[in-house]
Amino acid sequence: MKNSTTWLKSRYLTAGVLLDGTNESITDRQEKVPGFKQSVMDALCVLQIGAGGLGGEIAQGLVRKGVGKLMIFDGDTVESSNLSRQLFYKEDMYKNKATSLAKNLVKEGIKKTDIEAYPCMFQKAAENKVDIKCNVVVCAPDNDDTRIYVAKLFYKITPVVFVGLDRQASTGYIFIQKPNGPCMACALPRTIENKREHCPNVAAIIDLVKIIAGFVLFAIDSAVMERRSNWNFRQFFIAGFAPEIVRTVEKKPDCILCGAMKGKVHKKQGAKVKSK
């Protein structure tokens, strides 16, 4: 049943920092990074699923880099146990995470960013025809159902950066799914075989979140700019007892996700990144 209030978006605009003309560009240092292109970042639209620990760190990084537009989806509510690692404050308690994060990001903006907050599960918004056109998707939810849904929905049209943490807060992974390339199930077949449901009250800590979010921010650049990268899958073990995994996942001919989607054409169109 349609309920028009469940995905009602709110919009926030960062004002940007005005300079007097004598100072150097705010983004001067990142513009010196090989392959990084500010004009692409200025025009980039990122759709982000999840506004929790990872979502907050990633969104903060994107806004500070000067991303053009950020759409945030999350149906959860801020709780006291979130405050030690998520971008929320006392006044955000019991309010929606997507809306609260968007509000808190306004003061992080060094350029003009258009932030849209959708206080609902992404699946619900997508099924109700919310415009999901974007240049890149960040998928940082707390369950595998959403990951599988997103992997299928954007498979032929838009790059998706998947990210996840384990229940002991000891490791996290990043996988970049590019249109028609190896899919999320090629990289992590167990995601489909033993789907992890929404799991509240598991271990989580800000140190691991910050490391993984940094990789995600780099992965977004490498997907849309010439920042060179030698991996599409990375897994980091914070204690160092297992070596970091850095690899290029290949497409599996018998993959139960992208193999099954062969030949299917998606109607939705991906957006092209244009320079402003």
* Pair type for strands 233-237 and 171-177: antiparallel
SS3 240: coil
Q: Which of 9, 258, 270, 273 binds Zn ion (CB under 5 A)?
A: 258
Name which of residues 228 to 257 contact Zn ion (CB under 5 A). 255, 257
Long-range contacts made by residues 149-153, C-beta under 8 angstroms, separation at least 24? 149/122, 149/123, 150/49, 150/122, 151/177, 151/183, 151/184, 151/185, 151/257, 152/257, 152/261, 153/126, 153/266, 153/268
Q: Does 151 bind Zn ion (CB under 5 A)?
A: no
Any residues with CB less than 8 A from the CB of 141 and at least 6 apart, and which?
49, 50, 122, 147
Output 106 or 192, the one with its CB closest to Zn ion.
192
Residue 249 CB, shortest distance to Zn ion, in Å, is 9
* Pair type for strands 45-49 and 69-73: parallel
Q: Does 183 bind Zn ion (CB under 5 A)?
A: yes
Beta strands in 60-108 (DSSP E): 69-73
Residue 265 CB, shortest distance to Zn ion, in Å, is 17
What is the radius of gyration, based on Cα positions, of the chain? 18
Output 175 or 215, the one with its CB closest to Zn ion.
175
Question: Which tokens hold the place of 163?
Answer: 């990210």
Output 176 or 257, the one with its CB closest to Zn ion.
257
Residue 186 CB, shortest distance to Zn ion, in Å, is 3
Q: Does 186 bind Zn ion (CB under 5 A)?
A: yes
Residue 196 CB, shortest distance to Zn ion, in Å, is 18
Output 125 or 183, the one with its CB closest to Zn ion.
183
Output 224 or 257, the one with its CB closest to Zn ion.
257
Residue 84 CB, shortest distance to Zn ion, in Å, is 36
- The amino acid occupying position 157 is I
Summarize as ranges the residues that interact with Zn ion (CB under 5 A): 183, 185-186, 255, 257-258
